[in-house]
Amino acid sequence: MTGQESAAGGSEHAAASVVFRDVTKRYRGAEADAVEHLSLDVPAGEICVLVGPSGCGKTTAMRMVNRTVEITSGDIEVGGTSVTERSPAQLRREIGYVIQQIGLFPHRTIAQNIATVPALIGWDRERTRARVRELLELISLPADVADRYPAQLSGGQQQRVGVARALAADPPVMLMDEPFGAIDPINRERLQNEFLRLQAEIRKTILFVTHDIDEAIKMGDRIAVLREGGRLAQFATPAELLMDPADDFVEDFVGADRALKRLALMRVSDIDLWEAPLAFAGQDTAEVRAKLAGAEVPWALLVDSDRRPIGWLSDRDLAAATVPHRPDSSPDPVLDRDDVLRDALSDLLQSQTHYAPVVDASGAAVGVLSLDVISDFLASDQAKVEEHPATARPHD
């Protein structure tokens, strides 16, 4: 090909917005639209997840962005210009694409696979080599896989290579069609977390297709729920989707456990904790009892001089004149402010306690979490206004 640099070279690192304007697709000979009047606005740097039942048109909607499927009517703009204004080949080299079945070239080494688009747009050898090395590091694969063939890698490793290949020429937009679909649940979770960390760094605009609502909630800044025939049922943030499903279809699709799913989107620090009645060793117990009288938590929490929890004080502990150094019960579980709320709830339930001290990064107690706090929170309006930018989204 010509040695010219593509537009992607010029717009490196800058993500571009993707806008669907009333897009319809009807395949030749089909009786109904595969995608019907779809309008979406995906801001630059965000992950938009397309989710819906099998055959609802997710792949079709995504493939119209890089024109591997031609639009029947309407328009799609990438970075402010219509996709129809560029030649398909040119457009595709500027958009990273991870297809549903990974699709690594079996006859090319990992390095050659990753270098596919750089080779098409005429990068020189040195630049390509450096980029391959950089990407292998980014996806945490050892440098020596570069000369292996795809068949010599595990499914999870191939998946990572697929992502690296899509990222190779640093495209402003990425299309990912069920990129973690064929992976076992444990590795899938790992890949998802890895990818979220990666995205926090690279901040691409990503269209992400899945049929798994949990994955959608985890990965998406915004979620487009599609129903049969590619009709948009709801376009909202994960929290909004879980709080306010637009209709029965979305409610059904999101699942009966949507309250629990909402907890997965939040951290302990996102909700108003109860104040812990703190007690210090050697303190007058009368003082502590007085404090307990008006408190939400019926037990006093013994802390050290740095306010680190030592244990809960029992009635017997408080029967003495001064607070003892060693209380009857341990403070476990001690929760971190940054813990995901769902995990915190699980800890509470598992240890069969009603209350758990919450500590900050230094280990100092900042409050108490209880089952009541969580259920009050879910019932309140506060949950509705919580917004989570991509970087702050909880993941392990």
Ligand X SMILES: Nc1ncnc2c1ncn2[C@@H]1O[C@H](COP(=O)(O)OP(=O)(O)OP(=O)(O)O)[C@@H](O)[C@H]1O
Footprint of other proteins on this chain (CB under 8 A)? 1, 63, 66, 68, 88-93, 97, 99-108, 116-117, 120, 148-149, 151-152, 165-166, 175
In this structure, the number of other CB atoms found within 10 A of the CB of residue 247 comes to 12
Closest by CA position to 278, among listed 366, 372, 371: 366
Work out whether 55 is an interface residue with ligand X (CB under 6 A).
yes
Identified binder of ligand X from the candidate list 1, 2, 3, 54, rule CB under 6 A: 54
Q: Contact residues for Mg ion (CB under 5 A)?
A: 59
Work out whether 66 is an interface residue with ligand X (CB under 6 A).
no
Token pair listed for 62:
């995504």
The listed partner (Mg ion, ligand X, other proteins, none) that binds 385, CB under 5 to 8 Å by sort, is none
Work out whether 59 is an interface residue with ligand X (CB under 6 A).
yes
Distance of CA 381 to the CA centre of its chain: 23
Work out whether 160 is an interface residue with ligand X (CB under 6 A).
no
Contacts (Cβ under 8 Å, ≥6 apart) of 126: none
SS3 46: coil
Token pair listed for 392:
């702050």
Contact indicator for 8, 121 with CB cutoff of 8 Å? yes
Q: How far apart are CB 58 and Mg ion at their closest, in Å?
A: 5
Between vectors from CA 22 to CA 16 and to CA 24, what angle results, nearest 5°? Answer: 105
Q: How far apart are CB 149 and other proteins at their closest, in Å?
A: 4
How far is 359 from 278, CA to CA, in rounded Å? 13
The listed partner (ligand X, other proteins, Mg ion, none) that binds 379, CB under 5 to 8 Å by sort, is none
Q: How far apart are CB 152 and other proteins at their closest, in Å?
A: 6
Contacts (Cβ under 8 Å, ≥6 apart) of 111: 129, 132, 146, 147
Q: How far apart are CB 158 and other proteins at their closest, in Å?
A: 11
The listed partner (other proteins, Mg ion, ligand X, none) that binds 101, CB under 5 to 8 Å by sort, is other proteins
Closest by CA position to 309, among listed 353, 372, 271, 373: 353
Contact indicator for 229, 33 with CB cutoff of 8 Å? yes
Closer to other proteins by CB, 67 or 262: give it.
67
Q: How far apart are CB 209 and ligand X at their closest, in Å?
A: 6
DSSP conformational letter for 332: P
In this structure, the number of other CB atoms found within 10 A of the CB of residue 353 comes to 17
Work out whether 60 is an interface residue with ligand X (CB under 6 A).
yes
**One symbol per residue from 25 to 44: x for binding ligand X (CB under 6 A), - otherwise; what is it?**
--x--x---x----------
The listed partner (other proteins, ligand X, Mg ion, none) that binds 60, CB under 5 to 8 Å by sort, is ligand X
The listed partner (other proteins, Mg ion, ligand X, none) that binds 27, CB under 5 to 8 Å by sort, is ligand X
Question: Which one of 58-66, 291-299, 324-332, 369-377 is the stretch in contact with ligand X (CB under 6 A)?
Answer: 58-66
Work out whether 211 is an interface residue with ligand X (CB under 6 A).
yes
The listed partner (Mg ion, other proteins, ligand X, none) that binds 389, CB under 5 to 8 Å by sort, is none
Question: Which one of 50-58, 116-124, 324-332, 368-376 is the stretch in contact with ligand X (CB under 6 A)?
Answer: 50-58
Closer to ligand X by CB, 58 or 342: give it.
58
Q: How far apart are CB 230 and ligand X at their closest, in Å?
A: 7
Q: Detail the DSSP E strand segments found in 102-204.
A: 173-177
Closer to ligand X by CB, 230 or 331: give it.
230
Contact indicator for 295, 389 with CB cutoff of 8 Å? no
SS3 221: coil
Work out whether 57 is an interface residue with ligand X (CB under 6 A).
yes
Work out whether 58 is an interface residue with ligand X (CB under 6 A).
yes
Residue with tokens 């001290």: 357
How far is 17 from 192, CA to CA, in rounded Å? 23
Residue with tokens 């444990």: 186
> How many alpha carbons lie under 13 Å from residue 345 in its C-beta half-sphere?
20
Q: How far apart are CB 363 and other proteins at their closest, in Å?
A: 49
Token pair listed for 41:
């606005």
Contacts with ligand X by CB under 6 A lie at 27, 30, 34, 54-60, 211
